[in-house]
Structure 1
Amino acid sequence: MPKKSAIKTSLFAAEEREQKLDRKGDLLSTLNQHVNFVALAAEIDHIAPRPSDKRGGRPPYPTELMVRVLVLQHLYNLSDEALEYQLLDRLSFQRFCGLRHSSTIPDANTLWVFRERISAAGGADALFDAVQRQLQQHGFIARGGQIVDATLVEAPKQHFHKEEKALLEQAATPAGWTPAQRRQKDTEASWTKKHGKSYHGYKLSISADRKYKLIRKRHISTAKEHDTNHFEAVLDRANTSRDVWADKGYEDQSREQRLNQGSWRLHIQHKAKKGKPQSDCQKRRNTRIARPRARVEHVFGSICAMGGKAIRSIGLARAVFGLSIKATVYNLRRLCSLREGGVVPI
């Protein structure tokens, strides 16, 4: 007598798999539930209208679909080619984008063209601000004070000859570079050292509210720019509290005095001066600041898990776009965590 097979066939297998995904808590289903992608697409259409299809050819994909694809790319840290493959192969991606019964999907080139078009029109700012409005609509306004910090984001390392470096420092391009080299050389990323280790790339500075750990402001610069230069650029003046926490890298007595006079309450750790060790009082103060300040490390940990500590693009403009979208997607993911965790806005 033949043994029974553990594999069962069903005409409703696809629907049964989708139901099982829902029971297991599919993140993409949760995003569908809590995020208004129609509103996000409307913001993009406002600043960068879809190209006209009057000249014939394949009509452009709906903006909402492309925004969803962009979210997927940054949520799972996928290249354009890898994302195209996953859209063809992965059930949850197809369902999230509404492509379950579509005979075509956006390819790598389509995504690149969409990203370049909206980047030139300020799409990163539009999406980040639109998500901020949705956070407020859910009741998650910035409260509890804010934490300012920065993290290094590595870019592909570049190798230049001594003569090339001299020209680049003068904002000139070496005459011997071919058009391909001009496209592939990142002349804007810079080197810096942290804890004795060298890094090449850019820097993401953020302000996250202490209550919900949502990114409220962000600024992207080259790696060599000091964190303290962007302190006020990321200061969130909409937070209900005037408390600000930061580590010793942001210590600046003149600025602290000026902001304290402007009703801000700055909690910035003090550096130990050369030849003058910190007093017990200063150590206790730094320890008190360390606990609330550490909440921002959870934010950077989540961004790192989404591949946000390295980029594949070349140039500051693309780094600004990519890291801004990464911060936006982090906020969407955090919104789902707060809603699914039963956090009730106060």
Structure 2
Amino acid sequence: APDRTTIWTFKERLIKAEAAERIFEAVSRQLDRHGYIARGGQMIDASIVPVPKQTLNKDEKEIVQQDAMPVEWSPSKRRQKDVQARWTKKHGKSYFGFKLSSSVDRRHKLIRRVHVSTASEHDTLHFERVLDAGNTSRDIYADKGYVDGEREQRLRAQGWRVHIQRKGQAGKPLSDCQERRNKRIAKVRARVEHVFAGLEQMGGKALRSIGLARATLHLNWKASTYNLRRLCSLMEAGATPF
């Protein structure tokens, strides 16, 4: 078996060649060749991917927020610090790391599009980046984090059927009709949580790598591995692609 240095060198070559997305695309072509094209609509969602927290003083934090490193840091310290990971809050809890945005097809629960960003970037910024125009259905399902009236209007004009959950506002709670609609969408969206759970089973949710480029490689690699395992499961179960 290759040692750690060999594996590290191989990964660095892939990063230098910007091969992360190409690996994912190559696996996607295999899915298509077996007939498992994207069907039934798509579920768009994002998941926070934690990395080890940084211990920085106030001055260091200000410099790092500008994607730079303090000049007094030694080369060894620079290698150990992740200046690209960011803090974010979800449900009142703080997380440090990156974010995986993805589109999963409803029929086969296969990941069709992925994008890796810092954790602080809002989910809605990468909606178009992961929107899969190749899905045979025009249905899109997403949670309330993707609410954007202007975008929804544009998508409908393009022929998409948009199913995005609504959120209440101060002094303006959701109507019974909106609550029922949210529940209908949630039943469909539950399938994407199965996918994120599957990714988490492959080495846990957190990453031990440093930097956005390495996170992008690892998460594209993980999504590709999930798709290959899912393909094997579908074929073993005799699931028809159509």
CA contact (8 A) 2:98 2:117 kept: yes
Mapped to 2, the partners of 1:108 and 1:204 lie a distance apart of 26
Larger radius of gyration: 1
1:160 aligns with 2:39: no
Structure 1 residues 216, 277: closer, same or farther in 2, change over 3 A?
Answer: same
Mapped to 1, the partners of 2:189 and 2:206 lie a distance apart of 23
Equivalent position of 1:333 in the other structure: 229
1:341 deviation in Å? 1.2
CA contact (8 A) 2:69 2:83 kept: no
- Residues 210-251 of structure 1: CA distance to partner in whole angstroms, max 9, x if unpaired? 000000000000001010111110000000011000000100
1:170 deviation in Å? 3.1
Equivalent position of 2:164 in the other structure: 268
Map 1:173-322 → 2, pairs under 5 A: 173-322=69-218
Partner residue of 2:27 out of 131, 139, 158:
131
Map 1:109-148 → 2, pairs under 5 A: 109-148=5-44
Higher relative contact order (CA 8 A, sep 6+): 2
Mapped to 2, the partners of 1:198 and 1:271 lie a distance apart of 22
1:169 deviation in Å? 2.6
Mapped to 2, the partners of 1:161 and 1:316 lie a distance apart of 22
Query: What's the TM-score once normalised by structure 2's chain length?
Result: 0.98
Map 1:45-56 → 2, pairs under 5 A: none
Query: What's the TM-score once normalised by structure 1's chain length?
Result: 0.69
Count of paired positions: 242
Q: Tell me the secondary structure at the aligned position of residue 199 of structure 1.
A: strand
Equivalent position of 2:46 in the other structure: 150
Equivalent position of 1:3 in the other structure: none
Structure 1 residues 226, 133: closer, same or farther in 2, change over 3 A?
Answer: same
Same amino acid, percent of matched pairs: 61
Structure with greater proportional strand content:
2
Mapped to 1, the partners of 2:66 and 2:4 lie a distance apart of 36
1:186 deviation in Å? 0.5
Query: Could you tell me which amino acid in structure 2 is paired with residue 262 of structure 1?
Result: Q
Equivalent position of 1:53 in the other structure: none
Q: Which runs of 5+ in 1 are unaligned?
A: 1-104
Q: Tell me the secondary structure at the aligned position of residue 192 of structure 1.
A: strand
Structure 1 residues 253, 308: closer, same or farther in 2, change over 3 A?
Answer: farther
- Residues 252-296 of structure 1: CA distance to partner in whole angstroms, max 9, x if unpaired? 001100111011111000011111111111111111111111110
1:308 deviation in Å? 4.8
1:172 deviation in Å? 3.1
CA contact (8 A) 2:67 2:84 kept: no
Structure 1 outlier segments of 4+, above 4 Å: none
1:134 deviation in Å? 0.7
Q: Tell me the secondary structure at the aligned position of residue 300 of structure 1.
A: helix
Mapped to 2, the partners of 1:180 and 1:142 lie a distance apart of 45
Map 1:34-49 → 2, pairs under 5 A: none
Equivalent position of 1:31 in the other structure: none
Query: Could you tell me which amino acid in structure 2 is paired with residue 211 of structure 1?
Result: R
